[in-house]
Amino acid sequence: MATTFPSRANNKITMESAMTTVTVSDLPSFIGKDLGHSDWLLIDQERVNQFAECTGDHQFIHIDEEKAKQTPFGGTIAHGFLSLSLIPALSAGLAIRPEGLKMAVNYGLDSVRFIQPVRVGSRVRMQLTVVDVTEKNPGQWLVKSRATLEIEGVEKPAYIAETLALYFV
């Protein structure tokens, strides 16, 4: 297996070359397997503000530090969809990829539950488990994974999502 993990410079995630590679016949053997954890990533106010600009979601709980101090969260929190958008980058170094992969596409999500808000200044990491592997058509493999975004020092995760990736081999 060849494995390359995301690298982080100045709290930015960038991908380096290939991911973990397995034979197509080995894909089903990963069902139920914990693929591990990503590195920790700091969720800072700059990232949250940039996400607010990109999406137009300027709700005060995300961007107004003074006003957010008056809420039950005691400060600003990351957008739920910002946290969710980290799945591809944080899980990339963990996910399995079949040999001969021509293309992989995000096929969607089966479920998402936001459990705990991510406070600005927190560090998060991804834990990934393969839930199911199905050959949809010849050369097309659907891989369902459970992606859990953990918050450093917090018992409950930010969310648990069942992700779907379609691999074309």
Domains of the chain: 7-44+86-168 (3.10.129.10)
Token pair in block for residue 78 = 């990351």
Task: Kindly report the average pLDDT of the chain as a whole number.
Answer: 90
Q: How confident is the model at residue 19 (pLDDT cuts 50, 70, 90)?
A: low
What are the DSSP calls for 62-84, one per residue? HH-HHHHTTSTTSS-B--HHHHH
What lies within 8 Å, CB to CB, of 154 at 6+ separation is: 116, 122
Q: Alpha helices of the chain — where are they, by DSSP H?
A: 45-55, 60-63, 65-68, 80-85, 87-91
Q: How confident is the model at residue 20 (pLDDT cuts 50, 70, 90)?
A: confident
Residue 85 has pLDDT above 60, yes or no: yes
Query: Model confidence over 117-165: pLDDT tens digits?
Result: 999 999 999 999 999 999 999 999 999 999 999 999 999 999 999 999 9
Q: How far is C-alpha 66 from the geometric centre of its chain's CA atoms?
A: 29
What pTM value is reported for the model?
Answer: 0.86
Query: Model confidence over 41-73: pLDDT tens digits?
Result: 999 999 999 999 999 999 999 999 999 999 999
